[in-house]
Amino acid sequence: CTKDLDRMPTNSITSEVTYKDVAGYKSVLAKVYGSYATPGNDGINQSDLAGLDPGQGDFLRLFWNAQELSTEEAHCVWNDPGIPDFHNLNWTSSNVLLAGLYNRSLYQITVANELIRESSDAKVAGRGISGKDAEDIKKYRVEARFLRAFQYWVLLDLFGNPPFVTENDPIGKYIPPQIKRADLFAYIEKELKEIEPEMIGARQNEYGRADKAAVDALLARLYLNAEVYLGAGKGRYADAVTYAKAAIDGGYTLHPTYKNLFLGDNNLNNPEVILSINYDGTKTQNNGGTTFLINAAINADMNPASFGVPNGGWGGNRATKNLPDLFTNVADKRAMFYGDDAEITNVADFKQGKKITKFRNVTTAGAVIPSPRGDGSSVDFPLFRLAEMYLIYAEGVKRGGTTGTEAQALVYLNNLRQRAYGNTSGNISSYDLQYVLDERGRELYWEGFRRTDLIRYDKFTSSTYLWPWKGGVKDGRGVEAYRKIYPIPSTDLTANPSLKQNDGY
């Protein structure tokens, strides 16, 4: 009876069963998308990845920490391992949160590779799937390629020279080679251009799925930062303007009310968001994502129920005074702060520093969106939205992109202003690059852009721009320039002998 040694699990299935029909493919597609939403497959306490608490292990929380806590926009009171490193700007290759982000990005890439591998025309036909189902799977496949390109962009921007794997590489005993930043730029560019015509048209796809405009938006973002990725003088501002315009022309319009962009029902009647990470306080549970953004920004004193999290309020993140200082005009309704004390003299005291009240788990009508534990969020996170495209257009033109005009840029910039002020009183008639950076701060704060923006303006590590506690000292200080990219995590350097550490670390 050695046949008894062939035991199979009760509730799991093999890949052949999974891919027997289009519904199976779609459930894998859901995982390709869901990989940037949830920590894992089983609620808040299970993670696809090891080495990090599942509550901290989702993409958005990790990405947000790396992009915001390292800048003037956010400062966290917690001293959990890895967190103080961000505002101290003294992270090392053993920072667990950076390793978590790197692992998460590559995880989503690996899952995308799996779907791409299993959805080749030959495999789909071999499984007897044809007609509309086969056409749908084709779309799943290009979307998986888009998400893979998006995560490679994250790695390009934050880590520079990551390992590189595609659907042509095996699962198991395999050592992924390292790719250089410039080569990765070229790969992402080529991939996005290849899939752009195959994507479902702008605003035509199902909610939560990427469309052609998402590809254009990512291309615009990639090109805007090309000089950072490729070196001085290698800017691609004309391309940035071209693709920003392409995305804008997808038919998006600004959401009439700025604050409603960040509420629990922002999945409804939202003409502005190009692609979002979708959360649900009940069905897509998380201690990261927007649940983190909301709860970490408030504490019990701030009436958590008014943020839609009656049992929430973790008291962690607030802004340094540089962020409220950007809002020089009180009429600007985008300034959503709480508290009077903008100064942070004690890094461990949550009472200090202005709190951000931008994200709230309530409906437009003000109703709390319930969740089982009373702190979960249903706010979807805008990964790409029209306002960013306006700002890329304006900056690209100002930096010499000849495919657009300053006149058009001013129209876009004033669109943002009019929404912010509720009238034309804040309108401008000319602008400079510093204005765009400041306006990005006002429009896009806490949406995961700041580190990238400060680097593009050479203000991230240099001493030309300081904020409280930058570099770990109260008045701020400049740090080493090599910190513009994060180190390759030591765990992967150990596991993958083909990797070389980034310079300086």
Partner 1 sequence: QVTVSGKVTDANAGIALPGVSVQIKGTLRGAQTDAEGQYTIQNVTPESILVFSFLGKVSQEITVGANKVINVKLADAARDLSEAVVIGYGTAKKKDLTGSITSISSKDFQPGSIQTPEQLIIGKVAGVSITSNSGQPGVGSTIRIRGGSSLNASNDPLIVIDGVPLSGGTISGAPNPLSLINPNDIESFTVLKDASATAIYGSRASNGVILITTKKGKSGRPTINFNSNVSLSKIARRVQTLSAAEIRQYVDSLGTPAQKALLGTANTDWQDEIYRDAITNDNNLSITGAVKNMPYRVSVGYLNQQGILITDKLQRASGSINLSPRFFDDHLKVNVNLKTAATRAHYANQGAIINAVQFDPTQPVRDSSSPFGGYFEWATTDPATGVVTINPNAPRNPVGLIRMQDNNGKSDRTFGNIEFDYKFHFLPGLRLNVNLGMDATKGWGTTYVPANAGQAVATKGQNNQYLQRMFNRVGEAYLNYVKDIKSIKSNINVTAGYGYYDNKTKIYNFPSYSANKDTIAGSVPKFPYDIPQNTLISYYGRLIYTLNDKYILAASLRTDGSSRFSKNNRWGVFPSAALTWRANRENIFKDAKTLSDLKLRLSYGVTGNQDGIANYSYLPIYSLSSNASLYQIGDQFVTMSAPAAYDANIKWEETATYNAGIDFGFLNDRLRGSVDVYFKKTKNLLNTVPIPVGSNFSNQILTNVGNIENKGIELSLGATPVRTGKMTWDVGFNLTYNDNKITNLTAVTDPSFIGNLTGGITGGTGQTIQIHSVGYNTFSYFVYKQVYDKNGKPIEGVYEDLNKDGVINQKDMYRYKSPFAKVMMGFNTQFSYDKWTISTVLRANLGNYMYNNVASNFAVRRNILNPQNIIANSTKDVFESNFYNNQYQSDYYVQNASFLRMDNLNLSYNAGRIWRDKVNLRVNATCQNVFVVTKYKGLDPEVNGGIDYNLYPRSRTYVLGVNLDF
Please report, as residue ranges, which positions from 70 to 89 form the binding site for partner 1 (by CB under 8 A): 77-81, 85
Distance of CA 172 to the CA centre of its chain: 29
Residue 417's identity, in one-letter code, is R
Residues between 283 and 302 with contacts to partner 1, criterion CB under 8 A = 283-285, 299-301
DSSP string, 422-467: SSGGG--S---HHHHHHHHHHHHTTSS-HHHHHHHTT-SSSTTS--
Cα separation of 157 and 429, whole Å?
Answer: 33
Size of the site for partner 1 (CB under 8 A): 113
Q: Is 28 in the site for partner 1 (CB under 8 A)?
A: yes
121 to 150: interface string for partner 1, x by CB under 8 A: ------------------------------
Element (H, E) at 411: helix 406-421
214 to 233: interface string for partner 1, x by CB under 8 A: --------------------
- We find the least distance from the C-beta atom of residue 251 to partner 1, in angstroms, to be 19
Contact 420, 472 (CB under 8 A): no
Question: Near partner 1 by CB under 8 A, which window of 104-112, 240-248, 430-438, 446-454?
Answer: 104-112
Closest CA to 176 of 99, 107, 272: 107
145 to 184: interface string for partner 1, x by CB under 8 A: ------------------xxx---xxxxxxxx--------
- We find the least distance from the C-beta atom of residue 415 to partner 1, in angstroms, to be 29
- We find the least distance from the C-beta atom of residue 96 to partner 1, in angstroms, to be 7
With CB under 8 A as the contact rule, the residue among 76, 89, 98, 106 that binds partner 1 is 106
Phi, psi of 319, deg, nearest 5: -100, 155
Residues between 40 and 59 with contacts to partner 1, criterion CB under 8 A = 40-44, 46, 48-53, 55-56
Question: Near partner 1 by CB under 8 A, which window of 21-29, 220-228, 234-242, 460-468?
Answer: 21-29
Q: Is 13 in the site for partner 1 (CB under 8 A)?
A: yes
Is 14 or 424 the residue whose CB approaches partner 1 more closely? Answer: 14
Ranges of H-type helices in 119-253: 121-126, 131-158, 181-195, 212-224, 226-230, 237-248
**Would you say how long the chain is, in residues?**
505
Residue 204's identity, in one-letter code, is Q
Q: Is 208 in the site for partner 1 (CB under 8 A)?
A: yes
Is 92 or 427 the residue whose CB approaches partner 1 more closely? Answer: 92
Question: Near partner 1 by CB under 8 A, which window of 97-105, 127-135, 228-236, 333-341?
Answer: 97-105
Residues between 300 and 319 with contacts to partner 1, criterion CB under 8 A = 300-301, 304-305, 310-315
Exposure class string for 456-482: b at 16+ Cβ within 10 A, else e: bbebbbeeebbbbbbbeeeebebbeee
Phi, psi of 337, deg, nearest 5: -120, 160
Residues between 335 and 394 with contacts to partner 1, criterion CB under 8 A = 348-351, 370-375
Cα separation of 312 and 314, whole Å?
Answer: 6
Element (H, E) at 338: strand 337-338
Is 310 or 324 the residue whose CB approaches partner 1 more closely? Answer: 310
- We find the least distance from the C-beta atom of residue 235 to partner 1, in angstroms, to be 30
With CB under 8 A as the contact rule, the residue among 62, 74, 76, 96 that binds partner 1 is 96
Cα separation of 267 and 366, whole Å?
Answer: 15
C-alpha distance from residue 109 to each of 74, 127, 146, 209 (Å): 28, 24, 10, 16
Is 16 or 458 the residue whose CB approaches partner 1 more closely? Answer: 16
Q: Which two tokens stand for residue 288?
A: 């990261």
Q: Is 490 in the site for partner 1 (CB under 8 A)?
A: yes
Q: Is 12 in the site for partner 1 (CB under 8 A)?
A: yes
Q: Is 30 in the site for partner 1 (CB under 8 A)?
A: yes
